[in-house]
């Protein structure tokens, strides 16, 4: 398995060195393009590969990856979770997340215009839009 070139390009464009540790972290994270994983699991995986690697280094890299658009972060309760970017061509997008299996499906439409029209005197500087429910597979299993 190989890290997709988009992630490595983004690292370089943003002044980060492509180290073996970063490449291995991206390789691991690339398995989670359609579901979120707990950051503690990423930490455990990386510390198993590199026993001398600190928690701070791992979390700092995840934060940097999120800031430059390689991964998407969110909190699930008190757990920090992360997933590999599912659309490098359109980094601004939204998701449907299955409450049962955790599968993430990218939504192609952004509802921001709809809300902007309802508050014409306001300026929106950020938003996050996610839908939750059961994916088709989980829905069929529950029938």
Question: Do 42 and 29 form a contact (C-beta atoms < 8 A)?
Answer: yes
What is the predicted pLDDT for the residue at 71? 92
In 10 A of CB 100, how many CB atoms? Answer: 13
- Specify whether 79 is located in the same domain as 107: no
Binding-site entries: 92, 98, 101, 127, 135, 138
59 vs 5: CA distance, rounded Å: 22
Where is the binding site for Zn(2+), in residues? Answer: 98, 101, 135, 138
pLDDT(5) > 70: no
Q: Rounded to whole angstroms, how far apart are CA atoms 84 and 6?
A: 11
The whole-number pLDDT of residue 91 equals 66
What's the CA gap between 65 and 10, in Å, rounded?
A: 9
Same domain, 135 and 100: yes
Kindly state whether residues 123 and 66 are assigned to the same domain.
Answer: no
pLDDT value at residue 96: 85
Confidence band of 1 (pLDDT split at 50, 70, 90): low
In a domain, 116, yes or no: yes
Does residue 89 fall inside a structural domain? Answer: no
Domain termination residue (choose one: 84, 109, 124): 84
Q: For residue 11, is it within any domain?
A: yes
| Domain end call among 60, 84, 108 | 84
Q: How far apart are CA 66 and CA 60, in angstroms?
A: 10
**Residue stretches of the annotated binding site for Fe cation:** 92, 127
- Is there a single domain that holds both residue 134 and residue 67? no
**pLDDT of 4 over the 90 cut:** no
Q: How many angstroms separate the Cα of 80 from the Cα of each of 18, 19, 83, 101?
A: 24, 24, 11, 17
From the list 93, 113, 114, the residue with the least C-alpha distance to 105 is: 93
CATH number at residue 52: 1.10.10.10
Task: Return d(Cα 140, Cα 63) in angstroms, integer.
Answer: 37
pLDDT of 27 higher than 90: yes
Q: Are residues 9 and 75 in the same domain?
A: yes
**54-105 pLDDT per residue, tens:** 999 999 999 999 999 899 898 877 888 999 887 666 667 777 888 888 888 8
Residues 79 and 105 in one domain: no
Helix and strand numbers, DSSP H then E, in the chain = 6, 6
Q: Give residue 40's domain range.
A: 5-84
């Amino acid at each position: 398995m190989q890290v997709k070139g988009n992630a490595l390009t983004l690292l370089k464009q943003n002044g980060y060195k492509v180290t073996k540790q970063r490449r291995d972290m991206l390789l691991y994270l690339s398995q989670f393009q359609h579901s979120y994983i707990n950051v503690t699991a990423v930490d455990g995986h990386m510390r198993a590969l590199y026993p001398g690697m600190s928690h701070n280094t791992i979390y700092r890299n995840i934060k940097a990856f999120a800031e430059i658009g390689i991964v998407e972060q969110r909190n699930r309760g008190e757990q920090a979770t992360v997933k590999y970017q599912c659309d490098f061509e359109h980094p601004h997008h939204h998701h449907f997340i299955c409450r049962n299996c955790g599968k993430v499906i990218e939504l192609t439409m952004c509802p921001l215009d709809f809300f902007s029209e309802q508050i014409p005197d306001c300026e929106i500087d950020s938003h996050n839009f996610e839908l939750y429910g059961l994916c088709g597979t989980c829905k069929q299993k529950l029938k």
